[in-house]
Amino acid sequence: MNASSLQLFCLVVFVLAIAHTFSTGVFERLAHAQPKHAGLWHFFGEVEAVFGLWALVLVLGLGYFDGLKAAIEYVDTRNFTEPMFVFAIMVIAASRPILLGTQRSVQQLVKLIPVNSGLALYFLTLSLVPLLGSAITSFPVL
């Protein structure tokens, strides 16, 4: 069986997307090491952006190999509601006011727990913070 050019292209995009997903930490370190391009490196270090970036490359490749009409038809047959919602929520959740507010709230709660502050912080970080993240994405915005 011979693979078509489109199939080989899709394979390469898939492999690069997986490699990029597992190397986001490298891009985050680059963002701190090279402040001049920190925004770009931070963007490449966001897992949510990885999916969008490689999806764009895939659709552009589909348009190149199979034509613009096939690429448009492919995109039109997909439902992007949930990925767009998750992307929007993650962008908002990663904003400085949300991060600082969450950090301050956890620090205040640590003071209320009658155990070692390090242990209380550890417990809240592993229990409450993920629950808050789940709550943000579970409840509809009014």
61 within 8 A of 10, measured Cβ to Cβ: yes
Question: What is the C-alpha separation between 73 and 127, in angstroms, rounded?
Answer: 43
Give 4-32 pLDDT, tens digit per residue: 999 999 999 999 999 999 999 999 899 88
pTM of the predicted model as reported, rounded to 2 decimal places: 0.60
Q: Is the pLDDT of residue 2 over 50?
A: yes
Give 31-84 pLDDT, tens digit per residue: 889 888 888 888 888 887 888 899 899 999 999 999 999 999 999 998 878 877
The predicted structure's pLDDT at residue 138 = 65
What letter represents residue 71's amino acid?
A: A
Quickly count: other Cβ atoms within 10 Å of residue 6's Cβ. Answer: 14
83 within 8 A of 49, measured Cβ to Cβ: no
